[in-house]
Amino acid sequence: MTKRTDPVGAAALQADGAAPMGVRQVEPVGGALPQTIAGPGALPFRGRTAIRLEPDLGIASVFGPSRTWRDDAPTDRLLLVRPAVGRLQVTQGGRTLACCSRDALLVAASRSAVFAATAVERIDVLAIERSRLAGPLAALETGFLRRIGRDHPGLQTLTAYAAGLLRGLIPIATSGLAELARAHLAELLACIVREPDLPANGPVPSRRDQRIQALKAEVEQRLGSPDLSLDTVAQTQRISSRQIQAMFQAAGETFSGFVLARRLDRAMQRLTDGGDARPVSAIAFDVGFSDLSYFNRTFRRRFDLTPSQARQLLRRTDRF
């Protein structure tokens, strides 16, 4: 059973025809959409449910995984697996390696690899078929295992990028763009393999900071929808409304205050855009306001101008 959610998209080959690092050229896939999949028979780790893109770009978040799972995929593939919480262990070719919450395991030629999960509710997965590998990924020997720490800058970028794709926060609307997204995932993984001890150039963002940025990105994506609410964001992010409120309060703001400020900022941007001549009411509704008097009142409180005065200010500036 599948349930379609917000559209995401699809990807592209590089314009010069060169194969991107870590992945060979293939025919572009079709348009990709995030889907919630139910049924352990169709999911990695025999999970209860999963979010993945269809057509599959190789990334998925699997919820309720089985305690033990053998990878019986029809072809060899490279797997990067990351438990959100708990301990995940893999045994391959007589060698065993384990990782804990938000660390990751890289498993080359994963067919017949056996995984054991302890207190794991979600596993994030990136899978690339061995026939698609190039560069440093293709050079990995069968049975290669590596633990990657949660603080590795490449792993953080890869997981944030994959999460943006799965949640529809990175819009992709063509088969060319989907293939490009697939190549980016492989390039990020190749960077991790090539530089396992890559240091960060600056302070590593805390888990809370990363989560609040994900929440704000979710709000930005849905800002124009009048039904944007704390509950809808909590459901999409799979955390409680109370947790979201606590994270915003720790950052010195509130969820509702952030949404209001971003809607007003977007309205100001459009009102002062010389190319947008729509009525004030149309712009207000477009950025998510359903009550025009409330929009006018809050706009004036924030900018000490009415929406009409903001537009007139632009016209006076244009005369100079």
pLDDT (tens digit per residue) in 212-224:
878 888 888 788 8
- The model's pTM: 0.63
pLDDT of residue 123: 94
More confident residue, 47 or 203: 47
Q: How far apart are CA 207 and CA 120, in angstroms?
A: 18
Q: 25 pLDDT exceeds 60?
A: no
Q: H or E element: which one contains 54?
A: strand 49-54
CATH code that applies to domain 2-194:
2.60.120
Q: H or E element: which one contains 28?
A: none
Give per-residue pLDDT as tens, 287-301.
Answer: 999 999 999 999 999
Domain segments of the chain as ranges:
2-194, 207-318
Domain 207-318 class? mainly alpha
Mean pLDDT, to the nearest integer, of 269-275? 78
How many other C-beta atoms can be found within 10 angstroms of the C-beta atom of residue 73? Answer: 14
Q: 18 pLDDT exceeds 60?
A: no
Q: How far apart are CA 94 and CA 71, in angstroms?
A: 15
Give per-residue pLDDT as tens, 57-108.
Answer: 899 999 989 999 998 888 888 999 999 888 999 998 888 999 998 899 999 8
Phi, psi dihedral angles at 67 (to 5 degrees): -70, -30
* High-pLDDT (> 90) share of the chain, %: 30
pLDDT of residue 202: 55
Q: Cβ neighbours of residue 34 under 8 Å, at least 6 residues apart?
A: 4, 5, 6, 7, 8, 51, 52, 53, 166, 167, 168
Give per-residue pLDDT as tens, 108-138.
Answer: 877 789 999 998 889 999 999 888 888 888 8
Q: What's the mean per-residue pLDDT of the chain?
A: 80
